[in-house]
Amino acid sequence: MKNNWPLWEVFVRSKNGLEHRHFGSLHAADAEMALENARDVYTRRNEGVSIWVVESKHITASNPENNGELFEPAQDKVYRHPTFYSLPDEVKHM
Amino acid sequence: MKNENIIQYIYGIADNALILGQRLSELCGHGPSLETDIALTNMALDLLGQTRSYYQYAAQLSGDGKTEDDIAFLRIERQYKNVLLVEQPNRHFGYVIARQFFYDVFHLFLLQELQHSKDEILSAIAKKAIKEVSYHQRFSSDWIKRLGDGTKESHQKIQEAVDDLWGFTDELFHMTEDDLLAFNSGIGVDLSKIKDAYYQKIKEVLEEATITPPETKWFQKGGKQGIHSEHMGYLLADLQYMQRTYPNMKW
């Protein structure tokens, strides 16, 4: 039965105020089942407060072959990092 | 109400959770897919967790040095007071889901009443379990609909399981003497009060799943008196093996 089910990507928000993070993937027949499966597979140890699921086919990924032109030009542009500001202690999760 | 009667009342609730949990545990590593395997095992753990709370309380009431493990592993078959429904075997996934669905709907109604028990511990256990069992009911109801309204084969298999297990549903509402004593003391639940709502809910879900509710009027009974089906001995042999073979063994 699993062979007939499409693949879904699972994103979990581990606590309020944090962003959803990619946790993994699973098989499910539809969105509702994907949510339940995600709850059972990825949040059974109290990992989350919110789940997103999206069918994997809806994700468009960059091609690793293009990494040279996509990402390498940024490597020597250190001035683009906001490292010259001092952050107040109250700002977390930056 | 004497402690001995309260203990028996507790067994009547807790043994269902233990035996159904044991049935679900048998599927660990054998579920039809990784996702359903984990889901069923999660439910088994929820049920065993509830069982522990009930047995710890029963052990405390017994005052004879018994522990939760003695209650779980060292009673003889006639002393288990679970309904026949929960001991029925995992013939195929349709049976697992139908059995779960028939029990979950009952279980949630039961806990919703039990949370108002005058017994503070039973009330607290019920309140905690309600969230777990709400999810169980959601899971099994969804699967009833998926299988019923799925392929021709899945429909035929879930209809078969519903037909076969239907005859075990009426026993859920039988009141033993201890049930009556508990109810009259404000500790226990009046099962007749939730019966109509139960069958109403069951029929709603079956209808949505395009499953025909059986018209059988003949129902099985016995488990609540400790008179079990032929499957129970094998289940207990698995469950009790370790404690019987290595008495007082600890992990």
pLDDT (average), residues B72-86:
98
Rounded to whole angstroms, how far apart are CA atoms A47 and B9?
36
Closest among B200, B124, B126, B199 to B166, alpha carbons compared: B199
Q: Above 60 in pLDDT, residue A2?
A: no
Whether A12 and chain B come into contact, CB under 8 Å, resolves to no
In the prediction, which pLDDT does A93 show? 74
Residues of A in contact with B42 (CB under 8 A): 40, 44
Query: In this predicted model, which residue has the larger pLDDT, A2 or A73?
Result: A73
Average pLDDT across chain B, whole number: 96
Q: Which ipTM value was assigned to this complex?
A: 0.77
CB B80: neighbour CB atoms within 10 A? 25
In the prediction, which pLDDT does A3 show? 63
Residues of A in contact with B135 (CB under 8 A): 39
Q: What are phi and psi of B209, to 5 degrees?
A: -85, 5
Query: Which residue of A3, A40, A46 to mutate against B (max B Cβ within 10 Å)?
Result: A40
Whether B33 and chain A come into contact, CB under 8 Å, resolves to yes
- The CA distances from residue B67 to A4, A42, B52, in Å, are 47, 34, 10
pLDDT (average), residues B43-52:
97
Rounded to whole angstroms, how far apart are CA atoms B205 and B22?
26
pLDDT in tens, B26-38: 999 999 999 999 9
Any idea which of A19-28, A67-76, B195-204 has the lowest mean pLDDT? A67-76
pLDDT (average), residues B154-176:
98
pLDDT (average), residues B180-206:
97
Whether B58 and chain A come into contact, CB under 8 Å, resolves to no
Q: What percent of chain B has pLDDT over 70?
A: 100
Any idea which of A16-25, A80-89, B223-232 has the lowest mean pLDDT? A80-89
In the prediction, which pLDDT does A90 show? 86
In the prediction, which pLDDT does A94 show? 66
pLDDT (average), residues A7-25:
94
Whether B139 and chain A come into contact, CB under 8 Å, resolves to yes
For residue B149, name the pLDDT band (cuts at 50, 70, 90).
Answer: very high
pLDDT in tens, B207-239: 999 999 999 889 999 999 999 999 999 999 999
